[in-house]
Structure 1
Amino acid sequence: MKLVVVESPGKVEVMRSLARRLLGGSVYVFATRGHVFDFDRTSTLPVPGLVVIDLRRKIYERLGELIKRAERVYLAFDADREGELMSHFVLEAFPGVAEKAFRVRLRALVEEEVARAFLESDGALDGNLLLAAYLRKVLDWRLGRVLSMRVREQFPSVRSLGRVKVGVLDLAEELARTRDFRFTGTLHVAFGFGRRYGWPVKGKVEGFVGRGYGVVRQVAVSRGELAPPKGLSTGRALAGGVRRSYPGVLGARAVMGALQALYDRGFLSYIRTRATAYSETGEEFAARLVETLYPGEYHPGDTTRAEAHEAIRPVRIPRAAELDEFRGEEKEVFRDVLGRFVASRMRPARGEKCVAEVEFADGGRGVFTCFRPEAGREGFLKEVWRGYVPGEDLRFPRVGDVVYLEGRVETPAERLFRLMEDRLVGQPSTYVRTVEGLSDQGLISRDDTVEVTETGREVFEWVRNEYPFLSADFSSRLERVLDEVAGGRVRPEAAVELYRDEVLKRAKAGDREELDVPVSAAAEVKKRMKETAARVSFAPVF
């Protein structure tokens, strides 16, 4: 029997069908339902040992039985840090997997991608990716353990708090102060109250602006290009979905669930990514699709290619019968991804651009950009403006014009997910889980305002006084260094050194011993990786 181990139960059926055709013979696909192992919370070692998560005990036992029976074990977890870490933990926990394990990195569940993953992989773990994942877990485990314990002493209702959750609280407080949001909609030049024409616009607004009348105070018109949107990342996908779906945290969870289901069933590429570029395979698919829909409009844009973590994209177009089976948010989410994918690989639009500054009756102000393309030079606007026909007698607004704005301002929930991605607070795989965790503990609201609650402010103020190093900025800098470690561009000790410089130098004397992670922890992680590698038929590649 050939055993294929995946992370999500939603992948089992599709993977079973694909693996049987590819590998032949008897194939068993088993889902771990996420992590099976965690660090021993009673350990005082810099790098704790592994224990089985209580709720995963039966999964652990079943996986052990299957490994003993299997002639070959394919660790087909996702192609990210967590997938690498989960693969390593399986190798570390089951000595019997030694000579028959093979790492396979999945990026999409379609036949050609799965075949490439199985046939082109050398079976080895990516040592740099694994180091970054392991060190991140060690540092966050140490810091989160101490912080959660101290917070619970002061606020019994708060179960857990760590570096990333504090960073998100910091961003939510920042949102409440700035009130600077994006707008999408239509700006009409008002020719009397009964007749309005307008162009689709984008812009930024200060204060509360919904829809209504205002006066144009400043205008600038120029000729040039309007660039197409970039590829879709996780943060942008969540922001767009929250806009259309349920409010706040519920909307984010619904959108992430739809993305996961579409990925598991082989309709989308890997969905946890900050990338805005595509792989070579993605570019080839984009070229065929755009030329079919809009002949002559394909344009590759940025020549950067993201092989490991490309932007979210469709990997195949569902048949009518499959589309009818889409549930909940899946149909709308797929349309969003498809539209963004097509538009991002079309030519820029050329024409006239108007930037208008408008003052509204409610005291808000906004700066909006509208675009008038030349005939035949619409480019990506053919996809973005599909079905939109502006009035033929429309002119750009002029200073003093009364204008009417209809559309919507992005909500704080949308803005929060954008900020988490832009500022590198957390990983794409944990954006929703982090915000949901804060909401479940009553620290931020569950609606579109994601407002820090009274309890949340008390907790945040206490954390800032007791642990002044914890902030969105610290979280961001640590993530950047870990990204460099994952890419092999800096040595792993750099992440531990940053942690020590920020945490130990500013922590109170009573906490320093428990928060301490020696620089030698990086060497200890490497040692464990090598000990595991010595038991298997391949070694991590650095």
Structure 2
Amino acid sequence: MKNLVIVESPAKAKTISKFLGKEYTVMASMGHVRDLPKSKLGFDPENNFEPKYLISTDKKKVITDLKKQINKDTTIYLAADEDREGEAIAWHLIPALKIEKNPLKRIVFHEITKDAILEAINNPREVNQHLVDAQQARRILDRAVGYELSPLLWKKVRYGLSAGRVQSVAVRIIVDRENEINAFIPEEFWKIKSEFSNPELKSELAKIDGKAKKVRNEGEAKEIEASINQGNFELFDIEEKDSNRNPAAPFTTSTLQQEASRKLGYSVKQTMIIAQQLYEGNVGNIPGHTGGLITYMRTDSLNLSKVATSAAKEVIEAEYGKEYSLNKPRVYKSKAKGAQEAHEAIRPVNLALKPSDIKAFVDNAQYKLYSLIWKRTLATQMAAAKIANTTYKINAGKDKEFEFQTKGQRIVFAGFMKAYTEGSDNPESALDSTEKILPTIKVGTILNLEKLDLEQNFTKPPARYTEASLVKKLEGEGIGRPSTYAPTISTIQAREYVVKTEDKKLAPTPTGEIVNSFLVDHFPHIVDLGFTARVEEEFDEIADGKIAWQQVMQEFYGDFKKTINEKEESVNKEDYLQIREIGTDPKSGKPMSARVGRFGPFVQIGTKDDEEKPKFVAIPDHLNMDTITLEEALFLFTLPRVVGQDSSGEDIKANIGRFGPYLQVKSTYFSLKTDDPYTIELPRALEVIKEISEAKEKATIKVFEKEKIQILIGQYGPYIKQGRKNFKIPKGVEAEDLTLEQTLEIIAKDPKSKGTARKTPAKRTTAKKKAPAKKTTAKKTTTKKPAAKKTDK
């Protein structure tokens, strides 16, 4: 009997195959093998939301290759990841491979080590249908939102836009923050700081008449300065407090993404790619170690196994000493909504494998992320740090009405801080873990004022989100789960609803803002944080077997579909026209604007109300209508341009058309694949024309001009071309020997030729309909446009 183990990725297959004997074959499914069809809704609302899954086009070869390894006696181990998505992948493999009658075993593991794999092989289970149903609910609900809402956006806002259940909420969070920033009115306040000499000391005004009060303006600051000048600074009290500081919890997906962003500058997507490599063991050959380096990286659990905490204790005592270890393991409880506590946190599979041990065998990014995980895991099982906090309280002012304070701290026992301290989104709090030693001064000492600073400040608006702080917000609101954070944040940037600023903050684009306005105005529940979080809780209930997934769809879909139909009629497109004023054309004095039309984004000079027809030009791929400048827009109007003349004295023109940039000589066109029509010079233009002409000549075997028939050489060999139609040449027929009569006979016998006269109008209409999509897809109005039917998480 043969055993086939099916995992998700080739890297994982390669690693696992090292642990199993020759009687096992390990292969990869390359993720999901079945999905809802791209061009249809993909489920039947009239038949209890029955999904219509198809084998994905790009997975047909994978399925064929897997089937070659299977006979009726083959035992199949479905070893996809241990989360809901992995459970669904395993479930879809069964009908895709038609292995319902084979011995089937579902195995899971949270680390890729020999012990873990053998343990999984020896303890298989059934596919968990509740987990599968939770994934189906997410997929089908997301498809419903994406498929139904996106076409409405096309009609009412802009062609090619899309909406998604989680992505749209993420955009709303960013737009709401931007609105807060724009509405923010700064308030003035003053800080009053003093510097002393002999001994050197700095302090800041903390209280007035025993209470914390803001100094609101310069007048108040000057009054305080006048009073201070009439008195002395006297140290009247020293307050000392000892405190214990505990380490941060072990890494979950969310906290790893946040910390890798703060400390390593990695994007959320980058972190997950590197973590996947570490999990799968996709690294160099490390002496004495085989397999993955960390446990499964999609988790919201804070649990550490007994094996991990025991190993941590050994390493801590060896590296730092017994006083740094704990008598019993420290346990953390998750505050995340719907956390899967049965899983483990992210940790090294072998804590004895120090970062220095692997440095020579992994790339720098892998080394840095492993180091972060190793240090954090150790720190969770180390003793608390003991901090001595000291506050010097200093009287000042004519009537000693002002209290200045100086704070210092001394680390009495470093504890976990020897290994690791958590980063922060607030730069000022980074100083919290550093020592600040105060000079020894006795109570009653009159301090020698060196300098008094009156410092004007203004309150600051809330900060824009970073990728890390957005993940924190999504998790805190209960929106999404570990597997969704990275794709959600990647999607909203890829669609150009959100851009990353120079300081790595997330800001909405005008497109993001207008899509958000449309959804808030007409589908407020879709972008409501509470609604989205409740849906996540319902997915959790499905996973626990408490409710059926169809029930969730029934509660959502009816009202949603009804609203879609209503908005088709009631929403006025004029309310969401995307016209962005750029400036004024210096030649004509007419307004210049960026707009979106049938074939994508363009720049227009003038308006339809002018006597002269407006001029317009397409916006090329490398520019965006949301950000194009007046200078860039004016430059676009330099096309068409005459590059020079060919050897016959004919003008060579460069231009951009519906299907991209091209050169034109009389009525002949030459597509520009890599050259810029704005900058191409005559020598290069002549080269392009020569290359394309020679290629056409080489590809042409015969031409029957009167009948507009060509016999050409294509990618798959010779063929006949008449107009827009291509015809196969029968086997055994030499293309070079074909006469006109034989060619016409081949065309007549081809099925495409039957009923041509009747079918031609329909085909022409279809071609015309497809043309705009082709053009708009090429343009980056927001980004590469997905089909409206595609689901967006």
Same fold, TM exceeding 0.5?
Answer: yes
Show the counterpart of 1:345: 381
Amino acid in structure 2 at the alignment position of 1:426 = G
Query: Which of 244, 250, 267 is residue 231 of structure 1 equivalent to?
Result: 250
- Counterparts of 1:124 and 1:162, CA distance in 2: 33
- Give the corresponding residue for 1:270: 296
**How far apart, CA to CA, are the structure 2 residues paired with 1:103 and 1:61?**
21
Structure 1: distance between partners of 2:264 and 2:248? 22
Residue 533 of structure 2 is aligned to residue 479 of structure 1: no
For each residue in 1:196-244, what CA deviation from the matched residue of structure 2 results, as whole angstroms up to 9, or x when unmatched?
999xxxxxxxxxxxxxxxxxxxx99754432220111111211222234
Q: Deviations over 1:427-475 (max 9, x none)?
A: 2223222211111111000341111111100111111222111123322
Q: Report % sequence identity.
A: 21
The answer on 1:35 being equivalent to 2:32 is yes
Distance 1:325 1:143, change over 3 A: same
CA displacement 1:60-117 (0-9 Å, x = unmatched): 2222222348722111111000011011111132223532221011211012222222
Correspondence 1:42-191 to 2 at 5 A: 42=40, 43-45=42-44, 46-68=49-71, 71-121=74-124, 123-156=125-158, 158=160, 160-177=162-179
| Closer/same/farther in 2, CA of residues 470 and 133 from structure 1, 3 Å limit | same
Matched, 1:2 2:3: yes
Matched, 1:429 2:474: no
- Which residue of 2 is the match for residue 17 of structure 1? 18
Query: How far apart are the structure 1 equivalents of 2:317 and 2:416?
Result: 12
Give the Cα separation in 1 of the matches to 2:239 and 2:511. 46
Partner Cα distance (2:59, 2:410) in 1: 58
CA contact (8 A) 1:478 1:499 kept: no
Give the partner amino acid of 2:478. Answer: L
Contact 1:3 1:73 in 2 (8 A): yes
Q: 1:511 to 1:455 in 2, by over 3 A?
A: closer
CA shift digits 1:356-396 (9 cap, x unpaired): 9xxxxxxxxxxx998644x34x432222369x973544699
Q: 2:343 is matched with which residue? A: 309
Cross-structure match for 1:461: 517
1:310-342 per-position Cα deviation (integer Å, ceiling 9, x unaligned): 211111226856421222411111111111111
Deviation string 1:275-325 (CA, Å, 9 cap, x unpaired) is 222233333333333333332423522265976422111112268564212
Contact 2:302 2:341 in 1 (8 A): no
> Relative to structure 1, is the Cα distance of residues 434 and 230 closer, same or farther in structure 2, using a 3 angstrom cutoff?
same
Instruction: State which drifts further: 313-322 or 235-244.
Output: 313-322
- 2:435 — aligned with what? 390
Q: 1:240, 1:220 → 2: CA distance?
A: 34
1:174–1:221 CA distance, 2 compared to 1 (3 A) = farther
More helix by share: 1
Change (3 A) 1:303 1:455: closer
Q: What is the deviation of 1:28?
A: 1.9
Partner of 1:499 in structure 2?
Answer: 556
Q: Is the 8 A contact 1:235 1:417 kept in 2?
A: yes
| Kept in 1: contact 2:43–2:140 (CA 8 A) | no
Q: Secondary structure, in 3 states, of the residue corresponding to 1:102?
A: strand
Structure with the bigger percentage of strand: 2
Summarize deviations over 1:484-520 as a string: whole Å, max 9, x none.
332345565664465359x5498354479xxxxxxxx
Compared CA separation, residues 93 and 392, structure 1 to 2 (3 A): same
Letter in 2 for 1:334: Y
Q: 2:35 & 2:9 partners in 1: Cα distance?
A: 18
Distance 1:137 1:220 in 2: 58
Contact kept, 8 Å, 2:355 with 2:374, in 1: the verdict is: no
Query: C-alpha displacement at 1:151, in angstroms?
Result: 2.2
2:261–2:468 Cα contact (<8 Å) kept: yes
What amino acid maps onto 2:435 in structure 1? P
Cα shift at 1:9: 2.1
Distance in 1 between the 2:154 and 2:272 partners? Answer: 30
Aligned equivalents of 1:138, 1:302: Cα separation in 2: 37
Instruction: Indicate if the aligned counterparts of 1:233 and 1:311 stay in contact, CA closer than 8 A.
Output: yes
Match of 2:312 among 266, 269, 286: 286
Alpha carbons of 1:385 and 1:328: their partners in 2 closer, same or farther (altered >3 Å)? closer
Question: Residue in 2 aligned with 1:530?
Answer: none
CA separation of 1:413 and 1:293: change in aligned 2, threshold 3 A? same
Give the Cα separation in 2 of the matches to 1:427 and 1:66.
35
Whole-Å separation in 1 of the counterparts to 2:468 and 2:440: 32
Q: Is the 8 A contact 2:63 2:96 kept in 1?
A: no
- CA distance in structure 2 between the partners assigned to 1:34 and 1:197 by the alignment: 60
CA distance in 2, matches of 1:8, 1:394: 60
Higher relative contact order (CA 8 A, sep 6+): 1
Partner of 1:381: 417
Indicate if the aligned counterparts of 1:9 and 1:33 stay in contact, CA closer than 8 A: yes
What's the CA shift for 1:476?
1.5
Q: Look up the equivalent residue of 1:31 and give its one-letter code.
A: A
Distance verdict in 2 for CA 1:177–1:237, change over 3 Å: farther
Asked if the contact 2:76–2:102 (Cα under 8 Å) also holds between the matched residues in 1, the reply is no
Q: Assess if the C-alpha contact under 8 Å between 1:243 and 1:411 holds in 2.
A: no
Q: Tell me the distance in 1 between the aligned counterparts of 2:526 and 2:407.
A: 38
Query: How big is the shift at 1:261?
Result: 0.5
SS at 1:451 equivalent = strand
CA distance 1:8–1:322, shift in 2 (3 Å): same
The 10-residue stretch of structure 1 (454-463 or 480-489) with the greater mean CA deviation from structure 2: 480-489
- Please give the alpha-carbon distance, in whole angstroms, between the structure 1 residues aligned to 2:17 and 2:553: 41
- Matched to 2:109, the amino acid is L
Check 1:243–1:72 CA distance in 2 against 1; reply closer, same or farther (3 A cut).
same
